[in-house]
Amino acid sequence: MNENKYSEPHGRLNECYAIPAAMYAAATGLSEADAVNLYHDFMRVVDIDEEVEMDHVDLLRDIFDSEVRDGTSTWYVHQMFDDAFCNRGLLEQRGIAKNSEHYFFNRTLISKHLRLEKWKGSRLDQVLLRFDGAERRQKKLGASVRQCVAVPIGSIQKVLEEQLPDTDFNVFGRV
């Protein structure tokens, strides 16, 4: 089925429908061509715009909505990118950094410090790598150089504009 992917939706959505179609075809003795047709029938009924929110977009929202405490104050991650009084080291301690071109996310520190309950046990780096142009890079966070996922600012900006237009995230402030 992998070589017969449906063209529109995200790859993981293809897998969600390809496996049941292949199993049904094997169990009922359908030919390979009939199995592919069944899979394409499944995919035609999926309304991507209405029913599917990409998990990397959902994770981004959860990260940016996470609270960070510094002892006396509580901040949301998305506020910390724009606030002139914010301690950038506080974000880096939690596995998040930004330069003029990328956001950097370290899955270990994010999992340890941010309350992302629904993402427990998930490979956050794998999810974040689904952003256009995302790649693994080394980045100094605090005193240590760590493996991070670097996501281009433009990819995040595009997602916020297209898929999360009602949020008040101002994450493109100062670097």
pLDDT tens digit string along 85-132? 566 788 898 999 988 899 999 999 998 888 888 888 888 998 899 898
pTM of the model: 0.69
Buried b (16+ CB within 10 A) or exposed e, 12-34: ebbeebbeebbeebeeeebeeee
pLDDT digits (tens, 9 = 90+) for 16-57: 777 888 888 889 998 988 888 888 887 777 655 544 457 888
